[in-house]
Amino acid sequence: MAQAQGCSVFLVFFLAFSPGGAFYLTVLERCQFSSTDGHDAVLLDQIYFNKILEGQYNSTVGKAIGYTEKVEALVIFLNNNTGFITHEIWKTNLCKRNTPLAQKLLTPVEPYVQLRLEKAEYSQHQQMLICSAYDFYPKQIRVTWLRDGKEATSDVTSTDELPNGNWLYQIHTYLEFTPKPGEKITCMVEHASLKKPNLYDWEPEPDSKWSKIVVGSAGLLLGLVFSIAGFIYYKTTSNGRVVVPTTEDVCPEETL
């Protein structure tokens, strides 16, 4: 019944009495489903005493089950009580009927995607790209790798969709590869929250010496341009006229 754990709507969460703050009883009513029409919806009525699950009614089983001695008598009483059973069946039908509505309320949540590079270990390849999608809902997602626009099928591995525990999921997909100059690697994410697939291109770090020299020289040049501009501006404003360097201005002695 792993399927039935797809979604779970908590209908009621109530009752806590604690005369001295020491004891509390919780009754948790759950409606679990993974289908959109609710045919597989399961009603769970759970009784907790001091956070320990003492017993529950499970609509698949159709009766109450006790997990501790404390509730044994109560469970026998409830299962022999047509009023209780009828009421639980009524609530189970309510749970099934309202599944489509609950599904509508659970709108998709878009994943937050991160790409990063790591060294590949124990592999014939040098490097490994990791595409991680975080905090999406629902669980169904497709994360694939494109190499120059074509889907990569080899050297690809992936985790399952991992539940975060807050209805949201995360998944990590790996591509082991040996860098080829000019090759474009893209992580493609397809999900119910997205109108079209989202593409995330891998941008290799410009780490060659030449690119550093180019960036450095460009910075130096820019600095020089600004300082000359600043100097001209200073001369202009202090003299009240535009200084156009003529031969006279620059070296009057030599022209004479």
Q: Identify the residue among 36, 60, 157, 227 touching ligand NAG (CB under 6 A).
A: 60
Name residue 168's amino acid. Answer: L
Q: How far is the CB of 207 from ligand NAG (least distance, A)?
A: 53
Contact at 8 Å (CB) between 32 and 8? yes
* Joined tokens for residue 14: 């109530």
Residue 40 makes CB contacts below 8 A (sequence gap 6+) with 3, 4, 33, 34
Identity of the residue, 18 or 80, whose beta carbon is nearer to ligand NAG in the bound complex: 80
Q: Indicate the pairing of strand 25-33 with strand 198-201.
A: unpaired
Binding to ligand NAG by residue 1, rule CB under 6 A?
yes
Work out whether 44 is an interface residue with ligand NAG (CB under 6 A): yes
Please tell me the distance from the alpha carbon of residue 59 to that of residue 74, in angstroms, as a whole number. 18
Measured CA to CA, the distance from residue 116 to residue 139 in angstroms comes to: 23
Query: Identity (one letter) of the amino acid at 216?
Result: G
* 148 secondary structure, DSSP code: T
Applying CB under 6 A, the site for ligand NAG has a residue count of 8
Query: Judged by CB under 6 A, does residue 3 bind ligand NAG?
Result: no
- Asked whether position 246 contacts ligand NAG by CB under 6 A, the answer is no
- Report the amino acid identity of residue 47: I
Which pair of tokens denotes residue 185? 């690697």
Which range binds ligand NAG by CB under 6 A, 11-19, 54-62, 183-191, 214-222? 54-62
Sign of the alpha-carbon dihedral angle for 91, 96, 97, 98: positive
Q: Which stretch, 53-61, 83-91, 134-142, 145-153, contacts ligand NAG (CB under 6 A)?
A: 53-61
Segment interacting with ligand NAG (CB under 6 A) among 56-64, 84-92, 159-167, 235-243: 56-64
| H or E element in which residue 200 lies | strand 198-201
Does 89 bind ligand NAG (CB under 6 A)? Our answer is no
Are 55 and 68 in contact, with CB atoms under 8 Å apart? yes
**Per rule CB under 6 A, is residue 18 in the interface with ligand NAG?**
no
Segment near ligand NAG (CB under 6 A), from 55-63, 110-118, 166-174, 245-253? Answer: 55-63
When the beta carbons of 44 and 187 are compared against ligand NAG, the nearer one is 44
* CA gap 5, 97 in Å, rounded: 17
The answer to whether residue 80 forms part of the interface with ligand NAG (CB under 6 A) is yes
For ligand NAG, give the closer residue by CB, 2 or 256.
Answer: 2
Among the candidate windows 57-65, 96-104, 119-127, 153-161, which touches ligand NAG by CB under 6 A?
A: 57-65
Question: Which residues bind to ligand NAG, rule: CB under 6 A?
Answer: 1, 42, 44, 58, 60-61, 76, 80
